[in-house]
A = this chain, B = another copy of it.
């Protein structure tokens, strides 16, 4: 695992540093879209917030993470498919649970194509669906039945 992280950094032509290792580690461990604040919560005693900002920017540029559309602030998630500096492809759906607040990539759910008006050209699409994730829907149902 330690090795995987440094391999990933090396593959993207990035030096191995404490902050980069831990940010990447956090993304792998939490497996959900994270904001800068989430990361700062975990890492602020070890690294300066500016360094975390710069790490996110670097990871974005190198194709290690992608930006996730959100109604309140910027979030980022690991790129599973193989993205590079030039070639990003993230045409999957993102889901945000209004109950637990988690935002996740639905990697195998493709954004459906839409027929744009004449002359328009699409370059990138972002579909965010908000609602209840399976876990929260279930526990809310349980709570409702109790009454």
Task: Show the binding face of A for B, using Cβ within 8 Å.
Answer: 67, 69-71, 93, 95, 98, 106, 109, 111-112, 114-135, 137-138
B138 touching A129, Cβ below 8 Å: no
A117 touching B131, Cβ below 8 Å: no
> CA separation between A133 and B119, bound complex, in Å?
7
A123 touching B114, Cβ below 8 Å: no
A138 touching B119, Cβ below 8 Å: yes
How far is the CB of A128 from the nearest CB of chain B, in Å? 5
> CA separation between A95 and B98, bound complex, in Å?
25
Given contacts A120-B133, A120-B137, A134-B119, contact A69 B126 (CB under 8 A): yes
B127 touching A132, Cβ below 8 Å: no
Given contacts A71-B69, A126-B69, contact A120 B131 (CB under 8 A): yes
